[in-house]
Amino acid sequence: MKYTVSEVKVDGYETKVEGTTITNTYKNTETTEVKNERDVKAGGIRNENPRKK
Protein backbone atom coordinates (compact mmCIF):
# COMPACT_ATOMS: atom_id res chain seq x y z
CA MET A 1 0.00 0.00 0.00
CA LYS A 2 1.03 3.57 -0.62
CA TYR A 3 -0.37 6.44 1.43
CA THR A 4 -0.34 10.09 0.39
CA VAL A 5 -1.16 13.31 2.20
CA SER A 6 -1.86 16.73 0.75
CA GLU A 7 -2.56 20.12 2.27
CA VAL A 8 -5.18 22.63 1.21
CA LYS A 9 -3.69 26.04 0.38
CA VAL A 10 -4.60 28.60 3.05
CA ASP A 11 -4.08 32.31 2.40
CA GLY A 12 -1.36 33.79 4.59
CA TYR A 13 0.39 30.46 5.23
CA GLU A 14 3.36 28.78 3.58
CA THR A 15 3.39 24.97 3.49
CA LYS A 16 6.61 22.95 3.60
CA VAL A 17 6.59 19.16 3.19
CA GLU A 18 9.61 17.10 4.27
CA GLY A 19 8.96 13.36 4.19
CA THR A 20 6.10 12.75 6.61
CA THR A 21 6.39 16.18 8.26
CA ILE A 22 4.14 19.01 7.05
CA THR A 23 4.83 22.49 8.43
CA ASN A 24 2.44 25.42 7.93
CA THR A 25 4.07 28.78 8.68
CA TYR A 26 2.05 31.99 9.06
CA LYS A 27 3.41 34.83 6.94
CA ASN A 28 2.53 38.06 8.74
CA THR A 29 2.21 40.86 6.19
CA GLU A 30 0.78 43.46 8.57
CA THR A 31 2.97 46.12 10.12
CA THR A 32 2.44 48.21 13.22
CA GLU A 33 4.14 51.50 13.98
CA VAL A 34 5.20 52.06 17.58
CA LYS A 35 6.38 55.44 18.78
CA ASN A 36 8.40 55.65 21.99
CA GLU A 37 9.55 58.85 23.65
CA ARG A 38 11.86 59.16 26.64
CA ASP A 39 11.63 61.97 29.14
CA VAL A 40 14.72 63.44 30.76
CA LYS A 41 14.25 64.13 34.45
CA ALA A 42 15.77 67.14 36.20
CA GLY A 43 19.45 66.69 36.87
CA GLY A 44 20.12 64.78 33.65
CA ILE A 45 18.91 61.39 34.92
CA ARG A 46 17.09 59.46 32.22
CA ASN A 47 13.78 57.74 32.79
CA GLU A 48 14.61 54.13 31.80
CA ASN A 49 10.95 53.05 31.96
CA PRO A 50 9.16 55.05 29.25
CA ARG A 51 5.38 54.85 29.41
CA LYS A 52 3.02 54.68 26.47
CA LYS A 53 1.33 58.03 25.96
Handedness of CA 40, 41, 42, 44 (dihedral sign): negative
Residue 37 included in any domain? yes
| Domain membership flag for residue 31 | yes
In a domain, 53, yes or no: no
Cβ(25)–Cβ(17) below 8 Å: no
Tell whether 14 is covered by a domain. yes
Q: Is the pTM of this model over 0.75?
A: no
1 occurs within a structural domain: no
Domain that holds residue 14: 10-46
Calpha distance 19→3 (Å, rounded): 12
pLDDT, tens only, 1-53: 988 888 889 999 999 989 888 999 999 888 888 888 776 665 555 656 666 55
